């Protein structure tokens, strides 16, 4: 007997719009100022009317297209009815039978396993609820409700039960998050709840006689970190196997329903929750306050044409254009669109992809980590770094000198681009870092040094290779920008004469 874990994910993504989905309240994470971003519409006051945010719908369609979904030419809005204090209207505006997109897929690279294609059942647009805060002390005090988030746009992306392990789920989520970053659809900040996940998990148990049994499906909610998703999947797989071995209960048995469990991140366990009302009890009905949206095939095509380059395409293009390893390309592309753009500019400016990749993934990345900032806040612009590296590529300065300039630029903090270029030249000038290509000057110094060190020259002639080191050092001290290789070559030639 062996078993397979079967996982489907429902991911909720907050859209990066300026205003809420159906009203003009600002769409901003602002827990420090509760209940300051509300109006009659999002408070559900009688007589108020929702109006759809064009940008929210456009971002949704872009995401649907990027997930290879069919985009519906006719889509409408439905009321999902339930009572909870964070939902003052007592219904959530969502999409039920006619979501704006359906039947797509996303491909993700799973470590040590290759590319996994994950089917997308549907993506639909809905409004978020507010936030309840409970009395954690057990003192039974009132719960607090903040409605700042109520009515903000939320995209729900539902996969087929195609995932077979925690690693596959993680790979899917990583790629989804990256795609949304490239599309500019969401910042996917999990601390701020911009990306939340529910996982449907069960096991297929394969008997030695070829039989297959499915365990009851469990939906784990409250997964607000990718780590949590992975842990919850592994925990559930073990728990369900134990229960199956104990009770033999399986999907389809009388009285077996889908179970909803919560995730306790502190104890790393799932726990039973009161089962929610059955789907039919949400009493979905078309929202009479909102009219449908229609799109022509041409309009959908127009949005498709305007889409940005996706991470997968960018990986492919980078590895071809800059002759980089798959590993280097992934490191760069997976940092997000801004970082990849930065790299691309550096590479274009210096004309050497490998050089640009090394600097971006090492020197730049190290600084970003130390400062805990994103590339957008990095003091050295892409053009400046590219220009600096171009000098290394053209053999005008050494890599070591470039590091010196880089360090000084870092200390001078944010500089505007043209000033940065002038500053690079100035540092090179002041420190005498320019490789002296004027062989006349270099030759003079080499001859002077040799003349003062006849004994060392003799030692070298008699076969002591190491003797030349101090001579190179002396020349380099005299001519700072000299290339050690050139100096060495010149010394050997002159000693040989």
**Which residues of the shown chain bind another protein in the complex (CB under 8 A)?**
17-19, 24-27, 33-40, 43, 45, 51-57, 74, 76, 81, 83, 85, 98, 132-136, 140-147, 262, 264, 271-274, 277, 281, 283, 286, 288, 290-294
Residue 240 CB contacts under 8 Å (≥ 6 apart), including other chains: 201, 202, 203, 215, 216, 218
**Are the CB atoms for 230 and 111 separated by under 8 Å?**
no
Q: Which is nearer to another protein, 16 or 468 (CB)?
A: 16
CB of 179 to another protein, least distance (A): 21
CB of 80 to Zn ion, least distance (A): 19
**Are the CB atoms for 44 and 276 separated by under 8 Å?**
no
The sign of the CA dihedral 406, 410, 411, 416 is positive
Q: At what angle do helices 382-393 and 337-350 cross, to 10 degrees?
A: 40
What beta strand segments (E) does 237-347 contain?
259-264, 269-272, 285-286, 293-294
Residue owning tokens 């009285």: 255
CA-based Rg of the chain, rounded to a whole angstrom?
31
CB of 31 to Zn ion, least distance (A): 17
Partner from another protein, Zn ion, none binding residue 46, C-beta < 5-8 Å depending on class? none
Partner from Zn ion, another protein, none binding residue 76, C-beta < 5-8 Å depending on class? another protein
Partner from another protein, Zn ion, none binding residue 161, C-beta < 5-8 Å depending on class? none
Instruction: Give whole-number Cα distances, 462 to 301, 440, 454, 455, 488, in Å.
Output: 77, 28, 12, 11, 17
Q: Which is nearer to another protein, 86 or 478 (CB)?
A: 86
Indicate which single residue of 5, 25, 120, 392 sits in contact with Zn ion (rule: CB under 5 A).
25
CB of 88 to another protein, least distance (A): 8
Partner from another protein, Zn ion, none binding residue 17, C-beta < 5-8 Å depending on class? another protein
Indicate which single residue of 5, 6, 9, 23 sits in contact with Zn ion (rule: CB under 5 A).
23
Partner from another protein, Zn ion, none binding residue 255, C-beta < 5-8 Å depending on class? none
Residues 280-319 that bind Zn ion (CB under 5 A): none
* Binding residues for Zn ion, total number by CB under 5 A: 5
Give the Cα separation of 324 and 326 in Å (integer): 7
Residue owning tokens 């006719």: 74
Instruction: Give whole-number Cα distances, 494 to 195, 467, 468, 475, 477, in Å.
Output: 68, 14, 12, 13, 19
CB of 154 to Zn ion, least distance (A): 15
Q: Is 173 in the site for Zn ion (CB under 5 A)?
A: no
Q: Is 39 in the site for Zn ion (CB under 5 A)?
A: yes
Listed ranges 41-49, 102-110, 158-166, 426-434: which one lies at the site for Zn ion (CB under 5 A): 41-49
Indicate which single residue of 42, 87, 456, 495 sits in contact with Zn ion (rule: CB under 5 A).
42
Looking at the DSSP bridge assignments, the partners of residue 115 are 109
Nearest to 412 by CA among 381, 383, 434: 381
CB of 168 to another protein, least distance (A): 29
Q: Which is nearer to another protein, 134 or 477 (CB)?
A: 134
CB of 49 to Zn ion, least distance (A): 12
Partner from Zn ion, another protein, none binding residue 484, C-beta < 5-8 Å depending on class? none
Range 358-362 contact pairs with CB under 8 angstroms and sequence separation of 24 or more: 359/385, 359/389, 360/332, 361/328, 361/331, 361/332
Longest dimension (CA), the chain: 101
Partner from another protein, Zn ion, none binding residue 98, C-beta < 5-8 Å depending on class? another protein
């Amino acid at each position: 007997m062996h078993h397979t874990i079967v996982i489907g994910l429902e991911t909720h993504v907050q859209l990066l719009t300026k205003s809420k989905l159906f009203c003009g309240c600002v769409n901003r994470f602002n827990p420090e100022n509760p209940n300051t971003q509300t109006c009659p519409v999002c408070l559900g006051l009688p007589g108020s009317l929702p109006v759809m945010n064009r940008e929210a719908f456009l971002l949704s369609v872009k995401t649907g297209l990027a997930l290879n979904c069919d985009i519906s030419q006719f889509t409408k809005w439905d009321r999902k009815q339930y009572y909870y204090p964070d939902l003052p209207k007592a219904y959530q505006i969502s999409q039920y039978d006619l979501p704006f997109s359906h039947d797509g897929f996303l491909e993700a690279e799973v470590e040590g396993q290759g590319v996994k294609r994950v089917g997308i059942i549907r993506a639909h647009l809905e409004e978020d609820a507010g936030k309840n805060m409970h009395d954690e002390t057990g003192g039974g005090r009132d719960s607090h409700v903040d409605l700042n988030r109520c009515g903000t746009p939320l995209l729900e992306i539902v996969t087929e039960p195609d995932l077979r392990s925690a690693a596959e789920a993680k790979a899917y989520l990583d790629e989804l998050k990256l795609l949304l970053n490239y599309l500019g659809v969401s910042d996917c900040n999990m601390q701020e709840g911009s990306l939340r996940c529910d996982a449907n998990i069960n096991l297929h148990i394969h008997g030695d006689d070829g039989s297959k049994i499915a365990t009851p499906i469990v939906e784990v909610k409250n997964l607000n970190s990718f780590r949590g998703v992975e842990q919850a999947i592994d925990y559930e797989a073990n728990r369900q196997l134990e229960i199956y071995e104990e009770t033999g209960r399986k999907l389809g048995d009388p009285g077996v329903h889908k179970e909803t469990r919560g995730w306790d991140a502190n104890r790393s366990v799932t726990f039973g929750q009161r089962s929610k009302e059955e789907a039919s009890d949400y009493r979905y009905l078309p929202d009479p306050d909102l009219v449908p949206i229609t799109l022509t095939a041409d309009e959908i095509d127009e949005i498709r044409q305007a889409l940005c380059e996706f991470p997968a395409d960018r990986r492919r293009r980078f590895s071809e254009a800059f002759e980089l390893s798959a590993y280097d390309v992934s490191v760069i592309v997976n940092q997000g669109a801004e970082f990849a753009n930065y790299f691309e500019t550096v590479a274009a400016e210096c004309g050497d992809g490998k050089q640009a990749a090394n600097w971006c993934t090492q020197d730049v990345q190290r600084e970003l980590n130390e400062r805990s900032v994103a590339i957008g806040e990095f003091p050295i612009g892409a053009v400046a770094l590219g220009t600096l590296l171009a000098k290394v590529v053209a053999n005008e300065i050494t890599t070591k000198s470039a590091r010196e300039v880089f360090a000084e630029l870092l200390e001078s903090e944010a500089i505007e681009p043209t000033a940065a270029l002038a500053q690079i030249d100035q540092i090179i000038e002041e420190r005498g870092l320019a490789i002296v290509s004027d062989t006349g000057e270099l030759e003079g110094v080499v001859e002077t040094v040799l003349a003062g060190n006849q004994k060392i020259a003799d030692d070298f002639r008699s076969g002591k290779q190491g003797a030349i080191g101090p001579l190179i050092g002396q020349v380099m001290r005299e001519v700072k920008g000299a290339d050690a290789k050139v100096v060495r070559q010149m010394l050997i030639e002159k000693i040989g004469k």
